[in-house]
Chain A
């Protein structure tokens, strides 16, 4: 079945550091790929998405490129802020009407 594997956390960085959170997937067909963010005590918010190979999703300084050849969708940000501290989820969606999530990566940014 479809699955998503994320880099294990927690990840702790200093402010202004470069961030990468790895995400790889297994899917039949051609999935859409998503990154969601969850701030403490809240639901999930869509951060960015890509719907076909080589698409780059971007939002709030975060970027991720849909790499079909490596089945990856790694999340990157050039300079993180304390306010980026949250849990990040990679997810995929194929023709079925449901999202399949990775296990989440907790990110903490220290000032």
Chain B
């Protein structure tokens, strides 16, 4: 079945450690996104990528890094510079296109919950 796979589902990190969250899609989508979800704050965009080897910062990119070496993969690294990394992280993908066309909808993975000990 086509979809987006995030791993791990749960991750614990000690302060000062970097961690990498995996996101893989087999939907043949060009665009991929990382969102952070905190209670009562909705979802905030961290990074997004519209094409391989290119990505843009979202609204809260500080303390995070990404790469897009393959169309199917968009891993997110939470670095030690991220001051409050405990959160639920969601990866998404979409076709490219103008809003309102086939590219309008985002498809989401099931999320990764990161807890800093």
Binding site for B on A (CB under 8 A): 30-32, 34, 36, 41-46, 49, 51-52, 89, 93-95, 97-99, 101-104
A93 x B104 contact (CB < 8 A): yes
B104 x A97 contact (CB < 8 A): no
- A-chain residues with CB within 8 Å of residue B109 when the two chains form the complex: 43
A99 x B42 contact (CB < 8 A): no
- CB neighbors of A among B32-90 (8 A): 33, 35, 40-45, 48, 50, 58, 90
B100 touches which of A32, A89, A99, A103 (Cβ 8 Å): A32
B31 x A102 contact (CB < 8 A): no
Cα–Cα distance between A64 and B106 once the two chains are bound (Å): 18
Interface size class of B (residues with CB under 8 A): 20 to 34
Q: What are 22 inter-chain pairs, A to B, with CB distance below 8 A?
A: A30-B99, A31-B99, A32-B104, A43-B109, A44-B43, A44-B90, A45-B108, A46-B105, A49-B105, A51-B99, A51-B100, A51-B101, A51-B104, A52-B100, A93-B99, A97-B50, A98-B33, A99-B106, A101-B42, A101-B44, A102-B42, A104-B40
CB nearest to B4 among chain A residues: A43
Q: Judge whether B98 is part of the interface by a CB distance below 8 angstroms.
A: yes
- A-chain residues with CB within 8 Å of residue B40 when the two chains form the complex: 103-104
Most buried by A among B44, B106, B109: B106
Cα–Cα distance between A46 and B109 once the two chains are bound (Å): 12
Q: Name the distance in Å between A103's Cβ and chain B's nearest Cβ.
A: 4
